[in-house]
């Protein structure tokens, strides 16, 4: 009989099918004399998977969503304080896109993307007049050692394949009675309909494939012999109390935020039960009913790091996350992600590549140039380019990339104070333990958040954090000319150039800014944007819209017409990248007159 203190993996599922799938992969099932904490209403299953003792809890029957999941997780951590790995494994709805060929039976693993931790609460956000819905609120990332384990598994699977089908068949061979419900359905049962096609309701229980017909199906090529099937995808999972059955919203979130999958529990876990979310795709988050794939999609193998015993107990990780949220509430740092996401919507994958490959930028990354200033006329695409640079820098190993966007339209993003709060919190998150201790000391010295720090205290803290981090630090500051505290900002930048950080600035070519920056970093590190390269980016962006956006692809435009549209918009832009933000409207206007 195992001691419940030896269980180091906590596994949560929402449905009976998911619980059955989890237990079917036990190498050994355990009987445990449970000493549950008062108020713990969970029912647990125990077993061994490989070298790890695993405890599994399922949500109560007919209770789904964020709150029940959070309740199960809290009770599990109270009763099993030695849990070091958290997993939420089950089924979800896929969000296929041109970038991600997601099919039924595939697997989606939550991994961070940009400023998002791997799970987004897709019904929490804000609506601003004349702007798209913006996701707000932050959910914690999975623990770093789990993300490291995922990367290691990705590499192994890339070389050797994942053998998911073989493992599922092996598990089912030991339990033949499960085959009918949990074996893989035929490929013909994987049916993806056009987003505009709504399921035809029927008074009788007619199967969707018979009721909705064939004419609105999307044709997809069968996967090749050397392609994984099922395929494992890594990226953002969207979570909400609402079941997603809307292909239009599905496509928008996939396109604008990179969402790969929808489910209903993860948002209740990430801030209280740091874990990895693993979802088997059983439908396409649309109106078309599909029960055939639920069993197979639930049959997922474990993802566990081998060095699990050396990891922090999740209860300690939760304490650290709570401290981080306290400091975030104290500093109230401006959220730069809204600016990054808006800029990303105005570019495609190749935008700004001319600068990324330039000798000056490569020398900056390598440390041969300590600082750079990119300058140009209003509307030339400095912010769009800075978002491309940010993506490139944050993917550079052993580095920390901090960023801030000054913004005429957001009062929080116009002051030096807002910049300092933002950089301090980003360093706290990503600069390592020695750096984060410095901000926590400042937090405690101000009544643990009761009092506000002034600008000199914040600046001193940032300098101390920079001197104590063991990582290379890049600082990207966009649109200096949009700051309302320009004099103090430029003075601070002058002091910062002497510290352990590489700084990249963007601004318009105004005399006051130019004089100061040239004095700080030298004329040779001040670079003007290339108008021809900007025009080329505009053409490339418009062409990508014409080739990928449904509003245009359904028109069946000839290659000649697509090229003509790109040429007219690109050449007519005259280096005004701001027109890219209106390119979609411009192209639609032209289409309405030529097609």
Q: Is residue 433 part of a domain?
A: yes
Verify that 495 and 577 share a domain, yes or no: no
Contacts of 213 (CB under 8 A, 6+ apart): none
User: Does any domain span residue 317?
Assistant: no
Q: Output the CA–CA distances (angstroms, integers) from residue 217 to 91, 163, 213, 220, in the order listed.
A: 23, 29, 8, 9
Q: Output the pLDDT for position 461.
A: 95
CA 528 to chain centre: 32
Say what percent of the chain tops pLDDT 70: 83
Query: Is 114 in contact with 259 (CB distance < 8 Å)?
Result: no
Among 507, 526, 545, residue at a domain's last position: 526
Tens of pLDDT, residues 261-275: 999 999 888 888 888
Residue among 66, 109, 120, 89 nearest 265 (CA): 66
| CATH number where 101 lies | 3.40.50.1580
Per the structure, the complete domain to which residue 336 belongs is given by 332-526
| Number of neighbours of residue 81 by Cβ within 10 angstroms | 14
How far are the Cα atoms of 115, 202, 430, 475, 551 from residue 405, in angstroms, in the given order? 14, 53, 19, 11, 32
Range list of β-strands (E), 345-389: 371-376
- Terminal-to-terminal C-alpha distance of the chain: 74
Strands 107-110 and 276-283: antiparallel
Query: Measuring CA to CA, how many Å separate 506 from each of 362, 527, 528?
Result: 17, 10, 10
Q: Which of 130-139, 171-180, 464-473 has the highest mean pLDDT?
A: 464-473
Residue 109 sits in the same domain as residue 229: yes
Q: Rounded to an integer, what distance in angstroms lies between the CA atom of residue 91 and that of residue 105? A: 9
When pLDDT is averaged across residues 327-350 and rounded to a whole number, the result is: 83
Residue 407 lies in a domain: yes
pLDDT score for 210: 64
Quick one: which H or E segment has residue 234? strand 232-239
Output the CA–CA distances (angstroms, integers) from residue 270 to 49, 87, 143, 235, 314, in the order listed. 23, 10, 10, 15, 11
Same domain as 463, residue 361: yes
User: Do 206 and 108 belong to one domain?
Assistant: yes
Per-residue pLDDT averaged across 17-34, rounded?
85
pLDDT at 149 over 70: yes
Which whole number is the average pLDDT over 300-306?
49
Contact status, residue 81 vs residue 313, Cβ threshold 8 Å: yes
C-alpha to C-alpha distance for 84 and 74, rounded to whole angstroms = 14
Average predicted confidence (pLDDT) for the chain: 82
Q: Domain for residue 315, yes or no?
A: no
Residue 284 lies in a domain: yes
Clarify whether residues 537 and 487 are in a common domain.
no
pLDDT per residue as tens digits for the range 516-558: 999 999 999 999 888 777 777 777 777 777 766 655 666 666 7
Q: Say which DSSP state 125 is in.
A: E
Buried b (16+ CB within 10 A) or exposed e, 229-256: ebbbbbbbbbbbeeebbbbebbbbbbbe
For residue 473, what is the DSSP state?
A: E
Report pLDDT for 135: 65
Mark whether 306 and 171 lie in a shared domain. yes
In the three-class reduction of DSSP (H, G, I as helix; E, B as strand; rest coil), residue 540 is classed as helix
Find, among 187, 213, 186, 200, the residue nearest to 286 by Cα: 200
Q: Three-state SS string across 161-202, please?
A: CCCHHHHHHHHHHCCHHHHHHHCCCCHHHCCCECCCCCCCCC
| N residues, the chain | 595
Residues 499 and 540 occupy one common structural domain = no
pLDDT bin (cut points 50, 70, 90) of residue 182 is confident
Task: Give the tokens for residue 429.
Answer: 């998150």
Quick count: other Cβ atoms within 10 Å of Cβ 306?
A: 11
- 242-297: pLDDT as tens digits: 889 899 899 989 988 899 999 999 988 888 888 889 898 889 988 886 677 777 76
Task: Report how far apart, in Å, the C-alpha atoms of 379 and of each of 172, 361, 507 are.
Answer: 61, 22, 11
Residue 514 lies in a domain: yes
| Mean pLDDT, residues 302-324 taken together | 63
Q: Is residue 326 part of a domain?
A: no
* 197 plus 238 within the same structural domain: yes
CA neighbor of 59 nearest in space, from 261, 233, 273, 232: 273
What is the tally of structural domains in the chain?
Answer: 3
111: number of Cβ within 10 Å: 24
The H-assigned helical ranges of 302-336 are 314-331
Same domain, 562 and 585: yes
Q: Looking at the domain assignment, is residue 288 inside a domain?
A: yes
3-state helix, strand, coil in the chain (%, to 5): 45, 15, 40
Residues 562 and 483 in one domain: no
Q: Residue 371: which pLDDT band, with cuts at 50, 70 and 90?
A: very high
Domain boundary among 505, 526, 547: 526
Report the alpha-carbon distance of residue 445 to residue 96 in Å, rounded.
Answer: 50
Rounded CA separation 263/283 (Å): 11
CATH number for 520 = 3.40.50.300
Based on the fold, state whether residues 110 and 208 are members of the same structural domain.
yes
Determine the Cα–Cα distance for residues 566 and 587; give it in Å rounded to an integer: 9
Residues 454, 381, single domain; the answer is yes
Among 481, 510, 526, give the residue marking a domain's end: 526
Of 424, 236, 409, residue with least CA distance to 333: 424
Q: Is 227 left (phi over 0), alpha (psi -120 to 50) or beta?
A: beta
């Amino acid at each position: 009989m195992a001691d419940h203190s030896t269980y180091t993996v906590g596994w949560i599922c929402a449905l009976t099918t998911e619980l059955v799938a989890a237990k079917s992969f036990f190498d050994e099932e355990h009987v445990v004399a449970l000493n549950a904490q008062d108020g713990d209403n969970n029912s647990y299953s125990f077993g061994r998977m490989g070298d790890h003792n695993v405890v599994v809890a399922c949500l109560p029957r007919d209770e789904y969503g964020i709150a029940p999941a959070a309740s199960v997780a809290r009770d599990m951590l109270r009763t099993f304080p030695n849990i070091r790995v958290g997993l939420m494994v089950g089924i979800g709805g896929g969000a296929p896109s041109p970038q991600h060929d997601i099919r039924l039976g595939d697997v989606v693993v939550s991994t961070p993307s940009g400023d998002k931790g791997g799970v987004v609460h897709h019904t929490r956000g804000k609506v601003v007049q004349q702007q798209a819905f913006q996701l707000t609120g932050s959910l914690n990332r999975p623990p770093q050692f789990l993300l490291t384990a995922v990367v290691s598994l990705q590499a192994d699977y890339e070389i050797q394949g994942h053998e998911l089908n073989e493992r599922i068949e092996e598990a089912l061979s030991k339990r033949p009675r499960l085959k009918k419900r949990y074996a893989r359905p035929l490929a013909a049962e994987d049916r993806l309909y056009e987003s505009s096609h709504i399921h035809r309701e029927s008074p009788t229980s007619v199967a969707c494939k018979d009721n909705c017909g064939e004419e609105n199906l999307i044709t997809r090529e069968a996967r090749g012999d050397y392609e994984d099937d099922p395929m494992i995808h890594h990226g953002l999972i969207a979570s909400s109390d609402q079941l997603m059955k809307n292909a239009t919203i599905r496509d928008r979130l996939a396109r604008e935020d990179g969402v790969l999958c929808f489910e209903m529990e993860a948002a209740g876990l990430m801030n209280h039960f740091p874990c990895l979310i693993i979802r088997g795709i059983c439908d396409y988050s649309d109106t078309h009913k599909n029960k055939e794939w639920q069993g197979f999609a639930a049959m997922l193998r474990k993802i566990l790091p081998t060095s699990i015993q050396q990891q922090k107990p999740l209860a300690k990780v939760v304490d650290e996350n709570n401290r981080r949220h306290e400091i975030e509430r104290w500093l109230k740092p401006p959220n730069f992600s809204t600016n990054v996401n808006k800029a990303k919507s105005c570019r495609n994958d190749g935008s700004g590549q001319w600068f990324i490959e330039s000798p000056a930028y490569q020398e900056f990354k390598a440390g041969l140039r300590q600082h750079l200033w990119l300058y140009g006329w209003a509307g030339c695409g400095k912010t769009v380019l800075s978002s491309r640079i940010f993506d490139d820098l944050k993917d550079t190993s052993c580095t920390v990339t901090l960023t801030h966007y000054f913004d005429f339209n957001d009062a929080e993003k116009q002051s030096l104070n807002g910049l300092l709060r933002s950089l301090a919190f980003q360093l706290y998150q990503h600069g390592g333990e020695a750096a984060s201790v410095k901000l926590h000391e400042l937090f405690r010295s101000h009544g643990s958040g009761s009092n506000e720090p002034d600008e000199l205290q914040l600046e001193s803290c940032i300098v101390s954090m920079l001197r104590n981090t063991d990582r290379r630090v890049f600082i990207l500051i966009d649109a200096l000319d949009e700051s309302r505290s320009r004099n103090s900002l430029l003075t601070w930048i002058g002091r910062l150039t002497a510290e352990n950080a590489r700084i990249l600035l963007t601004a318009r070519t105004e005399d006051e800014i130019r004089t100061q920056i040239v004095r700080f970093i030298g004329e040779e590190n001040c670079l003007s944007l290339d108008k021809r390269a900007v025009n080329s980016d505009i053409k490339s962006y418009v062409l990508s819209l014409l080739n990928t956006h449904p509003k245009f692809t359904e028109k069946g435009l000839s290659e000649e017409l697509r090229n003509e549209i790109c040429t007219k918009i690109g050449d007519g832009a005259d280096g005004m990248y701001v027109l890219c933000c209106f390119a979609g409207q411009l192209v639609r206007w032209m289409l309405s007159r030529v097609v």
